[in-house]
Structure 1
Amino acid sequence: MGGLTNFALGILAAILAGLYQSNVHFVLYTGVRLFLGVGHTLEPLSAFPAYKCRRIEDERLQACEDMWLSEATRQLFLACSSPKGRHQWSPNGAIFNASGRSLTDHVAVLDIDEPEGAGFTTRVLETPGYPGTHGDGTLNLVGMSGHDDDDDGEVRLWLIDAKPSVDPATGRVLEDQAAAGGNQTVEVFRTTGGRKAKGLAHLDSFSHPLIMTPNRVAAVGDDTNAFWITNDLGHSESRWKRNISPIFSQGSVAHCSSSDPQTCTAAIPSGLSWPNGLVQNHHDGRLYVPSSMLGTIDVYAPAKNGSLHVKVDTVDVGYSLDNLMVDKDGDVWAAVFPVAKDLGAAFDDPYGSHGIAAAAMRIRKVPNGGGYEVDKVLEDGFGEVLPMTTSVVHDATTGRLFFSSEFPFLFHLKVPCSQ
């Protein structure tokens, strides 16, 4: 018995030593600190007197996890859903109640230079001809990206559609979605209606084994509809494997293009700890990939074929990160979670969770090789006005900040903060 115990202890010691030799101990230590908000001093909105914030109450702007600003047309596009639907159907989170998913997901658009009441002129874009889930025309939206094709209002949008899997013979939604893993695709649309978008015309659809647990898409903007995409939890089938995936750095980045034949390649096959809302900065040509687990942003110099072999920098932000955005001046803006553990409460009770901290960080490149400046521009440390923010857009033309959230409180979802 003693020999068996010693053998078991030896195996355990070997496993622990292996974990220590790997990066797991560092990832776990850093992730726990960010999860608990260790070292973060929460500041109220009153600590940032340069900004005045207000909530916009609109039923069309619920659970808008991601958004993108068209600088050419001055339209803010949002990928919106239903809080209850997200709670029932989230393939990335291994939540597979397809019957409870939202059937009303949509892209909303705000004309941000046209105030209307407490908000802005707002429309919901129709998607005529889009098949959705076996012809039902529905969307199940996650991340999004866009590109201004010209100054006449031509805008392309890339949307992650987390559809359920169906029986190809009958078209019925499969009962065991956990086994099927859902049917996550990237759909490319072009707006119709010029500078006042009225609808979305479907251009392209990407379905590939490398689109596994897609979190966010970053458009290249070329004529092949190319993009990069983060798989935040890698290729993890079961819920428990997805829960530990960030610890073992199983996240990845893929590059996809509709060149003949349509294909995706593994730009970064693995090694990323919960890669979240990546973005391409067309000012410096770099791809910025945030890690929610480590609170860092890896900066890559992409090759023309979509490979990301050259990592040129890592920026330590010090907060758990969600989506990144780039403003027209080339500054990168990050929605961060000052206390990441509160995500669970917001997800479980989107209408009843209050007082959750949210903040916006700016990452600015210092000239002449001086690295990066990281500044906390605004924080609502006690959840007085802002939702628990998953995306923040900086409108450099006016200085306003727009906040959106996958976790809404009532209909207070789109928050402009003006200087």
Structure 2
Amino acid sequence: MAQNFRGPRAIVWAVIALATGIFYQAILHNIIFDTIGIGREIQPIDDFPWSCNRLRHPLIEGCEDIWLDSEGRKLYATCTSLDTRMAWCPGGNKYNISARSRTDHIAVLDIDQPGSNGLYGLRQLKIGGYQDYLDLVGFDVRRIKGQLRFWLVNHRPPIDQATGEFLDASVVGANSTVEIFDLNDNTETLEYVKTIASDAILTPNNLAVEEDGLAFVVTNDHNKKVGKFRDLEMLFGGGSLTYCRSDTGKCYIAAKEGFSFANGIVRDKNGLYYVAHSVTGHITIHKMVNGQLLKIDEIHTGYPLDNLSLDTDGNLIAAAFPDPIVSRKSLTDPYNFTSPATVLAVNKIARQIKERGGKNTEVLKIVEDRDAKSLPSATIAVHDAESRRLILAGIFSPFITICEHI
């Protein structure tokens, strides 16, 4: 009689073993070796040909994203106080509205003129014609008819439209929008153009704008603004891409499958979008086809990723976290603790994708700082191809770093 149960029982155990194997290969293996980085070798910065200098000033702390104007030779950064970052950061489930300093700003540096104090003429842009406070994270810039136009991800707190009072953001989430400004070079003032608000701009992290400024793509890093199981998306995937028009203000979800905390995004001159997946360490390549952003290829970097940038030579630069467990400490004590950082590069990425495909693309480690001697807890790195310098900043860093190639 007992033998009658051996068949079904064996099948059950076989199914369990198969499911366990699939879970390990699909999720657990990636988490252990790529996300957590068990067994990963982290190198000291002295192994790399860079001389790095930290720049400290209240105007350049908490800078989540930076953008280099190679033509105008200026660096722009979206920054705020670290106290604000630790209190109000919807992407990191921080919803203390009352602790916002309301001092978010865009810092600007003259990148070729360090000056006597070594701060590169640091100042902040003025804001004109905008009646609210900015809560800034990612952004992109395009030169339109000789003038710089800024697209800014703005994590505004939610407000009751009837009373004007703040709502509980931990319940309803942030009232996130994209704000468009034009820069008046004569007065260094950002002049308000318009606000893009849409249900499809769900949990925006960063964005990439087309060359003519008419359309842009937003990365949503989660599937939901808030929720009890929101953090589980770090295990099972989450995020999407939203396509918007600057002229009409219309937006819609253009890709929603296969994301694992969609983070940084850039667009190349061929119309391809590169998207960083923070959890898996993948960079997916997307192309607009019949109104949808289809994934056409994928690069595996082996590191958890944050923001991406493209230099003028067509090289893709990625800020990465070599030890994400240690990195979490910098989120709670950023003034006193800096985590290790890594910068990866895919040289001539468009050509490599065309000739080799994503699986055979060469990913280079161009600098790493195991001991956190010089680099910030970086969420963005840009490469100035003209001067061969690297510039790094971090959303929870009290400084930015400029590295000279030696």
What TM-score, normalized by structure 1, do the two folds share?
0.87
Alpha-carbon distance change, 394 to 179 in structure 1, aligned in 2, over 3 angstroms: same
| Alignment match of 1:211 (pick from 184, 197, 201) | 201
Q: Structure 1 residue 396: deviation in Å?
A: 0.3
| Alignment match of 1:182 (pick from 174, 177, 183) | 174
Aligned residues of 1:214 and 1:230 also touching (Cα < 8 A): yes
Distance 2:166 2:18 in 1: 43
What is the aligned partner in structure 1 of residue 404 from structure 2?
417
SS in 2 for 1:402: strand
Alpha-carbon distance change, 349 to 285 in structure 1, aligned in 2, over 3 angstroms: same
Is 1:157 the counterpart of 2:150? The answer is yes
| Per-residue deviation, residues 2-34 of structure 1 (Å, max 9, x unmatched) | xxxxxxx9xx99997897697786234312323
Q: Structure 1 residue 90: deviation in Å?
A: 1.5
Aligned residues of 1:146 and 1:156 also touching (Cα < 8 A): yes
Aligned residues of 2:266 and 2:308 also touching (Cα < 8 A): yes
Distance 1:337 1:172 in 2: 38
Aligned residues of 1:358 and 1:389 also touching (Cα < 8 A): yes
What is the aligned partner in structure 2 of residue 146 from structure 1?
141
Alpha-carbon distance change, 417 to 233 in structure 1, aligned in 2, over 3 angstroms: farther
Distance 2:253 2:154 in 1: 20
Q: Structure 1 residue 343: deviation in Å?
A: 2.5
Is 1:321 the counterpart of 2:311? The answer is no
What is the aligned partner in structure 1 of residue 340 from structure 2?
357
Q: Name which of structure 1's ranges 357-366 and 13-22 shifts more when overlaid on structure 2.
A: 13-22
Alpha-carbon distance change, 147 to 169 in structure 1, aligned in 2, over 3 angstroms: same
Alpha-carbon distance change, 319 to 179 in structure 1, aligned in 2, over 3 angstroms: same
Aligned residues of 2:342 and 2:368 also touching (Cα < 8 A): yes
Alpha-carbon distance change, 349 to 14 in structure 1, aligned in 2, over 3 angstroms: farther
Query: What 5-or-longer segments of structure 1 have no aligned partner?
Result: 1-8, 133-137
What is the aligned partner in structure 1 of residue 382 from structure 2?
393
List aligned pairs for 1:11-410, cutoff 5 A: 26-48=26-48, 50-116=49-115, 117-132=117-132, 138-150=133-145, 152=146, 154-174=147-167, 176-193=168-185, 198-224=188-214, 226-238=215-227, 240-260=228-248, 262-282=249-269, 284-303=270-289, 306-309=291-294, 311-354=295-338, 356-364=339-347, 365=349, 366=351, 369-371=355-357, 372-408=361-397
Q: Name which of structure 1's ranges 382-391 and 92-101 shifts more when overlaid on structure 2.
A: 92-101
Alpha-carbon distance change, 369 to 35 in structure 1, aligned in 2, over 3 angstroms: closer
Query: What 5-or-longer segments of structure 2 have no aligned partner?
Result: 1-8
Distance 1:294 1:119 in 2: 36
SS in 2 for 1:92: helix
Alpha-carbon distance change, 295 to 85 in structure 1, aligned in 2, over 3 angstroms: same
Distance 2:22 2:176 in 1: 31
Q: Structure 1 residue 342: deviation in Å?
A: 2.0
SS in 1 for 2:111: strand
The AA in structure 2 aligned to 1:343 is: S
The AA in structure 2 aligned to 1:289 is: V
What number of residue pairs does the alignment pair up? 390
Q: Structure 1 residue 416: deviation in Å?
A: 3.4
Distance 1:13 1:201 in 2: 65
| Per-residue deviation, residues 381-419 of structure 1 (Å, max 9, x unmatched) | 1101111110000000110000001121xx432433333
Distance 2:300 2:180 in 1: 33
The AA in structure 2 aligned to 1:307 is: Q
Distance 1:301 1:188 in 2: 24
Distance 1:29 1:229 in 2: 29
Distance 1:306 1:393 in 2: 30
Alpha-carbon distance change, 15 to 272 in structure 1, aligned in 2, over 3 angstroms: farther
What is the aligned partner in structure 2 of residue 3 from structure 1?
none
Alpha-carbon distance change, 77 to 306 in structure 1, aligned in 2, over 3 angstroms: farther
Aligned residues of 2:391 and 2:400 also touching (Cα < 8 A): no
Distance 1:13 1:357 in 2: 43
SS in 2 for 1:373: coil
The AA in structure 2 aligned to 1:233 is: H
The AA in structure 1 aligned to 2:197 is: S
Distance 1:21 1:289 in 2: 28
SS in 1 for 2:234: coil
Aligned residues of 2:65 and 2:137 also touching (Cα < 8 A): yes
| Per-residue deviation, residues 256-314 of structure 1 (Å, max 9, x unmatched) | 11344x311111123301111111112x32100111111111111224x65212x2221
Aligned residues of 2:281 and 2:305 also touching (Cα < 8 A): yes
SS in 1 for 2:128: coil
SS in 2 for 1:179: helix
Distance 2:253 2:236 in 1: 18
What TM-score, normalized by structure 2, do the two folds share?
0.89
What is the aligned partner in structure 1 of residue 3 from structure 2?
none
SS in 2 for 1:293: coil
